[in-house]
Amino acid sequence: MIRSAMVAIILVAGCSSNGPETSTDVVTRVIDGDTIELATGDTVRLIGIDTPEEGECGYAEATEQLTQLVDGQTVTLVPGARDDQDRYGRLLRYVEIDDRDAGLVLIWFGLARTRYDSRDGYGSHPKEAQYIEAEAATGLPVCVPGIPTSDTPGVISGGYPFCEAARADGAAPLREGDPGWNPELDQDDDGEACE
Protein backbone atom coordinates (compact mmCIF):
# COMPACT_ATOMS: atom_id res chain seq x y z
CA MET A 1 0.00 0.00 0.00
CA ILE A 2 2.76 2.45 0.92
CA ARG A 3 4.65 1.51 -2.25
CA SER A 4 1.54 2.19 -4.40
CA ALA A 5 1.05 5.57 -2.76
CA MET A 6 4.69 6.50 -3.41
CA VAL A 7 4.42 5.50 -7.08
CA ALA A 8 1.23 7.57 -7.41
CA ILE A 9 2.95 10.61 -5.84
CA ILE A 10 5.93 10.26 -8.18
CA LEU A 11 3.67 9.96 -11.23
CA VAL A 12 1.60 12.98 -10.22
CA ALA A 13 4.73 15.02 -9.46
CA GLY A 14 6.23 14.04 -12.80
CA CYS A 15 3.11 15.11 -14.69
CA SER A 16 2.51 18.40 -12.90
CA SER A 17 4.55 20.57 -15.26
CA ASN A 18 2.65 23.73 -16.16
CA GLY A 19 4.43 24.38 -19.42
CA PRO A 20 7.61 23.93 -21.38
CA GLU A 21 10.82 23.32 -19.50
CA THR A 22 14.33 24.62 -20.02
CA SER A 23 16.23 22.41 -22.45
CA THR A 24 19.43 22.31 -24.49
CA ASP A 25 19.98 21.67 -28.18
CA VAL A 26 22.48 22.35 -30.95
CA VAL A 27 21.91 25.26 -33.33
CA THR A 28 22.22 23.98 -36.90
CA ARG A 29 21.30 27.18 -38.71
CA VAL A 30 20.80 30.86 -38.02
CA ILE A 31 17.89 32.01 -40.16
CA ASP A 32 18.15 35.69 -39.27
CA GLY A 33 18.92 37.92 -36.29
CA ASP A 34 16.09 36.59 -34.15
CA THR A 35 15.39 33.07 -35.45
CA ILE A 36 17.40 29.84 -35.31
CA GLU A 37 16.96 26.21 -36.29
CA LEU A 38 17.87 23.34 -33.99
CA ALA A 39 19.21 19.82 -34.53
CA THR A 40 15.72 18.55 -33.64
CA GLY A 41 14.35 20.42 -36.66
CA ASP A 42 12.49 22.90 -34.44
CA THR A 43 12.66 26.57 -35.26
CA VAL A 44 13.08 29.02 -32.37
CA ARG A 45 12.11 32.70 -32.31
CA LEU A 46 13.98 34.66 -29.62
CA ILE A 47 11.63 36.14 -27.01
CA GLY A 48 11.20 39.90 -26.69
CA ILE A 49 13.33 41.17 -29.57
CA ASP A 50 12.94 42.06 -33.21
CA THR A 51 15.70 42.41 -35.80
CA PRO A 52 15.55 43.70 -39.39
CA GLU A 53 14.17 41.41 -42.08
CA GLU A 54 16.14 40.39 -45.17
CA GLY A 55 16.64 43.40 -47.42
CA GLU A 56 16.31 45.87 -44.53
CA CYS A 57 19.11 47.95 -43.12
CA GLY A 58 20.85 46.03 -40.32
CA TYR A 59 19.74 42.54 -41.42
CA ALA A 60 23.23 41.31 -42.28
CA GLU A 61 24.78 42.67 -39.08
CA ALA A 62 22.13 41.15 -36.79
CA THR A 63 22.27 37.79 -38.57
CA GLU A 64 26.08 37.75 -38.46
CA GLN A 65 26.19 38.59 -34.74
CA LEU A 66 23.71 35.82 -33.86
CA THR A 67 25.66 33.42 -36.11
CA GLN A 68 28.90 34.24 -34.27
CA LEU A 69 27.18 33.71 -30.92
CA VAL A 70 25.29 30.45 -31.45
CA ASP A 71 25.80 28.70 -34.81
CA GLY A 72 26.96 25.12 -34.25
CA GLN A 73 26.83 25.59 -30.48
CA THR A 74 24.83 23.85 -27.79
CA VAL A 75 22.46 26.45 -26.39
CA THR A 76 20.08 26.55 -23.46
CA LEU A 77 16.48 27.25 -24.43
CA VAL A 78 14.51 28.95 -21.67
CA PRO A 79 10.74 29.44 -21.91
CA GLY A 80 9.27 32.73 -20.77
CA ALA A 81 6.76 34.01 -23.31
CA ARG A 82 3.01 33.97 -22.70
CA ASP A 83 2.67 31.40 -25.50
CA ASP A 84 4.85 28.38 -26.22
CA GLN A 85 4.85 29.07 -29.98
CA ASP A 86 4.20 31.99 -32.28
CA ARG A 87 1.63 31.97 -35.08
CA TYR A 88 4.19 30.41 -37.45
CA GLY A 89 4.77 27.42 -35.16
CA ARG A 90 8.19 28.61 -33.98
CA LEU A 91 9.09 27.89 -30.36
CA LEU A 92 9.40 31.08 -28.30
CA ARG A 93 12.50 30.90 -26.09
CA TYR A 94 15.33 32.89 -24.60
CA VAL A 95 18.52 31.51 -26.13
CA GLU A 96 21.50 31.36 -23.80
CA ILE A 97 25.09 30.41 -24.52
CA ASP A 98 27.79 30.36 -21.85
CA ASP A 99 25.47 32.22 -19.46
CA ARG A 100 24.93 35.01 -22.02
CA ASP A 101 21.46 35.86 -23.26
CA ALA A 102 21.70 36.11 -27.06
CA GLY A 103 18.74 38.50 -27.28
CA LEU A 104 20.29 40.83 -24.72
CA VAL A 105 23.62 40.78 -26.56
CA LEU A 106 21.85 41.82 -29.78
CA ILE A 107 20.11 44.65 -27.94
CA TRP A 108 23.40 45.88 -26.43
CA PHE A 109 24.96 45.97 -29.90
CA GLY A 110 22.03 48.00 -31.22
CA LEU A 111 21.16 45.13 -33.58
CA ALA A 112 17.75 44.33 -32.05
CA ARG A 113 14.88 46.32 -30.62
CA THR A 114 12.65 45.27 -27.76
CA ARG A 115 9.30 44.15 -29.04
CA TYR A 116 6.58 41.53 -28.66
CA ASP A 117 6.05 42.32 -24.99
CA SER A 118 3.41 43.87 -22.74
CA ARG A 119 3.71 47.22 -24.53
CA ASP A 120 2.39 45.85 -27.82
CA GLY A 121 -0.15 43.26 -26.66
CA TYR A 122 1.97 40.10 -26.52
CA GLY A 123 2.10 39.85 -22.73
CA SER A 124 5.01 40.55 -20.47
CA HIS A 125 8.01 38.27 -20.22
CA PRO A 126 10.44 37.81 -17.32
CA LYS A 127 13.30 39.77 -18.91
CA GLU A 128 11.17 42.59 -20.31
CA ALA A 129 12.36 45.29 -17.90
CA GLN A 130 16.01 44.26 -18.38
CA TYR A 131 15.63 44.36 -22.17
CA ILE A 132 13.94 47.79 -22.12
CA GLU A 133 16.64 49.18 -19.83
CA ALA A 134 19.39 47.81 -22.09
CA GLU A 135 17.76 49.30 -25.17
CA ALA A 136 17.48 52.70 -23.49
CA ALA A 137 21.20 52.58 -22.66
CA THR A 138 22.38 51.66 -26.16
CA GLY A 139 21.89 55.01 -27.81
CA LEU A 140 22.07 54.84 -31.59
CA PRO A 141 21.13 51.63 -33.36
CA VAL A 142 23.86 50.12 -35.52
CA CYS A 143 21.85 50.78 -38.64
CA VAL A 144 21.26 54.49 -38.93
CA PRO A 145 19.83 55.57 -42.29
CA GLY A 146 22.51 57.37 -44.29
CA ILE A 147 25.41 55.93 -42.27
CA PRO A 148 27.02 52.89 -43.86
CA THR A 149 27.80 50.04 -41.49
CA SER A 150 31.31 48.66 -41.06
CA ASP A 151 32.45 45.06 -41.45
CA THR A 152 32.53 44.63 -37.66
CA PRO A 153 29.19 43.68 -36.04
CA GLY A 154 28.27 46.17 -33.34
CA VAL A 155 30.22 48.96 -34.99
CA ILE A 156 28.76 51.64 -37.23
CA SER A 157 31.02 53.65 -39.50
CA GLY A 158 32.88 55.95 -37.19
CA GLY A 159 33.28 53.28 -34.50
CA TYR A 160 31.20 51.93 -31.66
CA PRO A 161 28.18 54.18 -31.14
CA PHE A 162 28.33 53.82 -27.34
CA CYS A 163 30.61 52.36 -24.68
CA GLU A 164 28.13 49.67 -23.61
CA ALA A 165 28.48 48.01 -27.03
CA ALA A 166 32.28 48.13 -26.84
CA ARG A 167 32.17 46.62 -23.34
CA ALA A 168 29.71 43.91 -24.38
CA ASP A 169 32.04 43.04 -27.26
CA GLY A 170 35.05 42.88 -24.92
CA ALA A 171 36.71 45.71 -26.84
CA ALA A 172 36.80 48.31 -24.07
CA PRO A 173 38.81 50.26 -23.30
CA LEU A 174 39.35 51.49 -26.85
CA ARG A 175 42.52 53.25 -27.95
CA GLU A 176 43.11 55.37 -31.01
CA GLY A 177 43.64 53.06 -33.98
CA ASP A 178 41.71 50.12 -32.44
CA PRO A 179 38.88 48.61 -34.53
CA GLY A 180 35.73 50.38 -33.40
CA TRP A 181 37.58 53.48 -32.13
CA ASN A 182 35.24 56.45 -31.90
CA PRO A 183 36.75 59.77 -30.77
CA GLU A 184 33.28 60.86 -29.58
CA LEU A 185 33.57 58.30 -26.76
CA ASP A 186 36.89 59.71 -25.54
CA GLN A 187 35.36 62.11 -23.03
CA ASP A 188 38.65 63.29 -21.53
CA ASP A 189 40.60 63.44 -24.85
CA ASP A 190 43.38 61.17 -23.58
CA GLY A 191 43.37 58.82 -26.59
CA GLU A 192 41.48 56.13 -24.66
CA ALA A 193 37.70 55.68 -24.68
CA CYS A 194 35.33 53.71 -22.47
CA GLU A 195 37.91 53.27 -19.73
Structurally, how many domains does the chain consist of? 1
Question: Looking at the domain assignment, is residue 59 inside a domain?
Answer: yes
The mean predicted confidence, pLDDT, of the chain is 81
> In the predicted model, is pLDDT for residue 40 greater than 80?
yes
Question: Looking at the domain assignment, is residue 109 inside a domain?
Answer: yes
pLDDT of amino acid 4? 43
Question: Looking at the domain assignment, is residue 185 inside a domain?
Answer: no
Residue 125's identity, in one-letter code, is H
Question: Looking at the domain assignment, is residue 25 inside a domain?
Answer: yes
Question: Looking at the domain assignment, is residue 1 inside a domain?
Answer: no
> In the predicted model, is pLDDT for residue 18 greater than 80?
no
Question: Looking at the domain assignment, is residue 172 inside a domain?
Answer: no
Question: Looking at the domain assignment, is residue 50 inside a domain?
Answer: yes
Query: What CATH number did the domain enclosing 30 receive?
Result: 2.40.50.90
Question: Looking at the domain assignment, is residue 64 inside a domain?
Answer: yes
Distance CA 116, CA 121 (A): 7
> In the predicted model, is pLDDT for residue 123 greater than 50?
yes
DSSP string computed for the chain: -HHHHHHHHHHHHHT---S---EEEEEEEEEETTEEEETTS-EEEETTEE-PPTTSTTHHHHHHHHHHHHTTSEEEEE--SSSSB-TTS-EEEEEEETTEEHHHHHHHTTS-EE-SSGGGTS---TTHHHHHHHHHHH-S-S--TTS-B-SSTT-BTTB-SSHHHHHHTT-PSEETTSTT--GGG-TT-SSEE--
Q: How many residues does the chain have?
A: 195
The domain containing residue 126 runs over which residues?
17-138
Q: Which residue has the higher pLDDT, 44 or 184?
A: 44
pLDDT of amino acid 143? 57
pLDDT of amino acid 97? 94
Q: What pTM did the predictor assign?
A: 0.67
